[in-house]
Amino acid sequence: MENTWDTLSEKLKDAYQGAEKHLKGDLVKLASLPHIFSFLKDIDSEGLLLLLDQARKIKKRKNPKLPPINADFYDIQGLLTEDERQLLGKVRTFMLAEVAPIANEYWGKAEFPFQIIDGLKKLNICGLSFDKSVGGQGRYYLLEGMIGEEIARTDTSICTFWGVHCGLAMTSIDLCGDDAQRQKFLPSMISLEKIGAFGLTEPDVGSAASMGLKTSCKRNGDTWTINGQKKWIGNATFADYIIIWAKDEDDHQVKGFIVDRQTPGLTTEKIEHKLSLRTVQNALITLKDCKVKEERRLQKANSFKDTALVLRKTRVGVAWQAVGCAKGAYENTLAYTMKREQFGRPIAGFQMTQDMLAQMLSLLTAMQCMVSRLSQLQDLGKLSDEQASLAKIFCTVSCRQITSMSRELMGGNGILLTHNVGRFLADAEALYSYEGTKQINSLVVGRAITGMSAFT
Ligand SMILES: Cc1cc2nc3c(=O)[nH]c(=O)nc-3n(C[C@H](O)[C@H](O)[C@H](O)COP(=O)(O)OP(=O)(O)OC[C@H]3O[C@@H](n4cnc5c(N)ncnc54)[C@H](O)[C@@H]3O)c2cc1C
């Protein structure tokens, strides 16, 4: 026999068709049995075993038992309490019901879906880790990190909106404001009645913000005058309060201000044609002789070191965000490969596909373990700048790798918005660069492990 399996299956087909010629309808399968049995009489036990083996394989391929998709392979959510898991579940339900159906549409048109803010208010997820005295919930950073991951898993832009508001803006007031400022501004921001933005980066000053901002502030009596520009500022087109960081003309130190968006002299211009996080409304802000009262100056922000305290905390948030973005891409891709058939079988069944899926899952799991431990350290009050930077590097680099492999595994469909993965791939680019690029965070880690600063 040239090919045993081909010969056997041909003979079996002939036997079945022979039976079909004489019989019709539902009886065919049953009535053809004698003919099939007569064929089986002629084959030896080796041939019969081969036949059964092949039939079993074909059946298995055609009706594979698909396991549920599990992107929490090491049960990281098991670190949470039942009550915390319930809150996470509520966020998941909200994101799937209210955001997933519109995520691609709003990303495509680069608009923010303001209609979801009411739902976010009801979830009560702003200020989770903030003190109860300012309207926060005094919860663990670990939970807050996982909430960020959960939001980004569906839509990384919405997570950025949440991260800029609760992370950058609210944390600036929490860490750098005095008690009166914390009491005055945080409660309405926690309830999302007021939205915040954070303006540090400038058109000519990005990574080197610590070396000198061009935006200036000058005090005269109890009024400050601010001049300059801020670039890339998320939420700034509609935020109520924008934290503006500026260099004092007198003592040359960086100071922070809670500035009303409506302040005369402050204008915002939406940055168009972005290729990443398109739903986030980033703006170029121009401040021309903006007058801000001393009571709006963050009383505990005396130099860039205080700004860096804010970034230490929010870099942890970006690392969690990268986990969510990568998780969303991995889940979408795994589901796709189990459905998509080529060469008569799901592409998930090919060895090379499984190799890539395993690589993606191992990176994702490493990211999850890293950020969980990081947030535990944060909860213990032991988080350092270099620990936050290391996680920001690893998670955003890995997110880029995972989203890129996702795109590859989905072939041409990987670049279509309708399959979500193209959006995650593009969004990973902004995560990689904001809140300190890979190089800048590597310099923070490098300085800590070598004792030598290589910034300049
Ligand atoms: C979508 C998006 C949202 C953002 N939102 C905000 C926001 O809300 N508020 C805000 O203040 N900012 C925001 N940013 C700004 C962001 O933080 C900056 O883009 C980032 O810090 C990098 O600055 P830059 O883009 O000016 O790049 P540059 O500083 O010009 O860097 C360009 C390249 O040079 C490298 N480089 C610079 N210095 C060194 C060095 N010493 N050694 C080696 N390499 C170096 C960098 O790593 C990078 O690869 C946002 C940015 C984006 C893209």
What separation in Å is there between the alpha carbon of 432 and the centre of ligand 1? 9
What separation in Å is there between the alpha carbon of 202 and the centre of ligand 1? 10
Q: What is the mean pLDDT of residues 376-401?
A: 98
The pLDDT of residue 31 is: 62
What separation in Å is there between the alpha carbon of 348 and the centre of ligand 1? 38
Same domain for 375 and 345 = yes
- Mutating to test ligand 1, I would choose from 202, 393, 437, 456 the residue with most ligand atoms within 8 A of its C-beta, which is 437
Is 301 among the domain residues?
Answer: no
Q: DSSP assignment of 245-258, as one string?
A: EEEETTT--EEEEE
Residue 266 burial (CB count, 10 A):
22
Residue 253 has pLDDT above 50, yes or no: yes
Residue 128 CB–ligand 1 contact under 6 Å: no
Residue with token string 């988080």: 383
Residue 36 has pLDDT above 70, yes or no: no
Pick the atom of ligand 1 nearest to 236's CA: 8
Which of the pair, 22 or 118, is modelled with greater confidence? 118
Per-residue pLDDT reduced to its tens digit, 192-233: 999 999 999 999 999 999 988 999 999 999 999 999 999 999
Total domains present in the chain: 4
CATH number at residue 255: 2.40.110.10
**Would the CA dihedral through 405, 407, 408, 410 be positive or negative?**
positive
Same domain for 226 and 185 = no
Q: What is the mean pLDDT of residues 150-157?
A: 98
Residue 29 has pLDDT above 70, yes or no: no
Same domain for 204 and 164 = no
The pLDDT of residue 252 is: 96
Residue 234 CB–ligand 1 contact under 6 Å: yes
Residue 1 has pLDDT above 60, yes or no: no
What does pLDDT average to over the chain?
Answer: 94
Is 69 among the domain residues?
Answer: no
CATH number at residue 166: 1.10.540.10
- Residue 41 is part of which domain span? 4-62
- Give nearest CA residue, ligand 1 atom 18: 434
Same domain for 420 and 316 = yes
Same domain for 174 and 93 = yes
User: Position 58: which residue type?
Assistant: I
* Cβ neighbours of residue 425 closer than 8 Å, sequence gap 6 or more: 329, 403, 404, 406, 407, 414
21 band by pLDDT with thresholds 50, 70 and 90: low
Is 43 among the domain residues?
Answer: yes
Using CA atoms, how far apart are residues 128 and 144, in angstroms rounded to an integer?
6
Same domain for 319 and 418 = yes
Same domain for 56 and 17 = yes
- Give nearest CA residue, ligand 1 atom 53: 430
Using CA atoms, how far apart are residues 158 and 116, in angstroms rounded to an integer?
10
Instruction: Please give the structure tokens belonging to residue 86.
Output: 């319930």
Residue 237 CB–ligand 1 contact under 6 Å: no
CA distance to 70, 196, 316, 320, 324, per residue, from 272 (Å): 37, 21, 28, 27, 25
Using CA atoms, how far apart are residues 169 and 198, in angstroms rounded to an integer?
5
Is 107 among the domain residues?
Answer: yes
